Amino acid sequence: MAWTWFHRLASPPHVYALAARLTPWFAWPAALCIAAGLWGGLVLAPPDYQQGDGFRILYVHAPSAWMSLMVYMTMAIAAAIGLIWRMKVAHAVAASCAPIGASFTFAALVTGALWGEPMWGTYWEWDPRLTSELVLLFLYLGYMGLRAGIEDPQRADRASAVLAIVGVVNVPIIHYSVTWWNSLHQAPSVMRLAKPAMPFVMVAPLLLMLLGFTLLFVALLLTRLRSEVLARERSASWIREVVSA
Amino acid sequence: MSGLESPAARTLAPVATPLVRGASRARTARSADAIEAARLALLRDLQLAFRKRSQLIQPLAFFAMVTLLFPLAVSPELSRLRELAPGVLWVGALLASLLALEFLFRDDACDGTLEQYALSGQPLTALMFAKTLAHWLLTGLPLALMAPLVALSLGVGPAALPGIVAAIAVGSVTLSLIGSIGASLTLGIKRSGALLSLLTLPLSLPVLIFGARATQLAIHGAPYGAPLELLGALAMLGITLAPLAAAAAVRISLE
């Protein structure tokens, strides 16, 4: 009884309608949080005593980096659900996650490089976190490449689900080995932002941006999920009713 | 099996015991069958490979060829080449083992052997492990045995050679296992070479990091036990998990 809501998630028409209904509930709060976070971060927060105004890119960089990992986790969990319970909608969720996650990863890399130029004097530093982020981008590209490479959609779903799970097992191993590698090759001379020492007026916009980016991800995911469901069910009769309505 | 543990089954214990014994005997027989099947699959792969010797030699020739590029592109000074040697050795070995991955499943997928394996009733995981082991014996181990030659040509002293062989031998186990996942996922995709490298190279980075570190320490005459043990740990993790993923991927490709 209590599980009917869960079973109904396996039905594409139900999920399509639910996603359409839920999208504004995530999109508007996301817009509000990001607007407030940007105002707080770009206007209210004082310049950093070492980095001046340069540190403000943090308000885009850190949430993007955070989302890049979270989207990968979401994708792998959705893929595992699809693989275990053979739930087509879960595979559609995983497929919709990949391009969003790759975009967040790309944004984190670009903002990291732009931040590095004034701070480190170079656009690219083989910093462990930037390097892990670059590897994560390749994991996303591999996932999307595999999905695009297999013609049969059901096989593509299941094969890419195996890859996502293998990737999730490997992400921590890669992260720690890259950190270990980096600590051998260079002393941590790079300026670090000591998180607890940041004053509230700097931290609060960051938290708002984190929340805003998470909500933005859900809104984007729901929108992509709808088009993914439409594309997958294009020969189903309920689509005709939805489109003509 | 689980039904036997229910209360009803417990009251029937005297009757059930021979059944349970029979079942456990059957289970031992089954696992013995699986080991035998894996052994036969391993021998089959080795035998087939030795009938096509050119396929065995290609990755080794590639490894030597990549090494030759560095003195030509960078500098023929042995002191500089010695500094580059860990990187050259590992990038060469990584690319050579990637090149050899194509032979892992392609012929067996084409002629239906993989299908027969999946239908044989033997655990596909064990058979995949056997195939991966054969692949390592045919590419990883020869690459490790050839590494001293490459290392000497880069100006590395003979004292470092045992460490280099050990690092490449252990590291290539994990490379073969990761490769078996990538190769089984890309079964049935035409011209999958670039995709295969995009799938397997990011997963191979930890092996590259620890392997190159062990090689570097060996070249400098320092103790290289720690990175070698980490390579061993990665190999153990790979042995336990990779055949499961590869078997799942093969089943998906046969659907």
State both tokens at A9: 């998630």
pLDDT along chain A (245 residues), means of 10: 76 89 94 93 80 83 92 95 91 95 95 85 82 92 93 91 93 86 58 58 88 96 93 85 77
A79 lies in a domain?
Answer: yes
A41 lies in a domain?
Answer: no
A14 lies in a domain?
Answer: no
pLDDT at B21: 56
- List CB contacts (< 8 A) between A135 and chain B: 202, 205
Question: Does the distance separating the beta carbons of B248 and A162 come in below 8 Å?
Answer: yes
A66 lies in a domain?
Answer: yes
Complex prediction ipTM: 0.84
Count how many domains chain A has. 1
pLDDT at A185: 60
Candidates B199, B210, B255; nearest CB to A146: B199
pLDDT at B171: 95
A18 lies in a domain?
Answer: no
Candidates B201, B209, B252; nearest CB to A158: B252
A20 lies in a domain?
Answer: no
Asked if residues B195 and A156 have their Cβ atoms less than 8 Å apart, the reply is no
> Which residues, given as ranges, of chain B have pLDDT below 50?
1-18
d(CA A26, CA A211): 11
pLDDT at B54: 83
The answer for A 161-190 residues in CB contact with B (under 8 A) is 162-163, 165-167, 169-170, 173-174, 177-178, 180-181, 184
Candidates B199, B206, B252; nearest CB to A174: B206
pLDDT at A7: 78
Instruction: Of A160, A73, A98, give the one whose Cα is nearest residue B199.
Output: A160
A189 lies in a domain?
Answer: yes
How far from B45 is each of B33, B114, B139, B234, B235, CA to CA, in Å? 18, 12, 12, 25, 21
In a mutagenesis test of the A interface, which of B128, B175, B199, B216 is the best target, namely the one with the most A β-carbons within 10 Å?
B199
A82 lies in a domain?
Answer: yes
pLDDT tens by residue, B30-63: 788 888 899 999 999 999 888 888 888 999 999 9
The pTM score is 0.87
pLDDT at B255: 78
Instruction: Of B81, B244, B122, give the one whose Cα is nearest residue A83.
Output: B244
d(CA B177, CA B165): 19
**Phi/psi of residue A90, each to 5°?**
-65, -40
Instruction: Of B13, B249, B208, give the one whose Cα is nearest residue B118.
Output: B249
Q: Residue B33: how many CB atoms within 10 A of its CB? A: 15
Structural Rg of chain A based on CA atoms: 20
d(CA A106, CA A36): 24
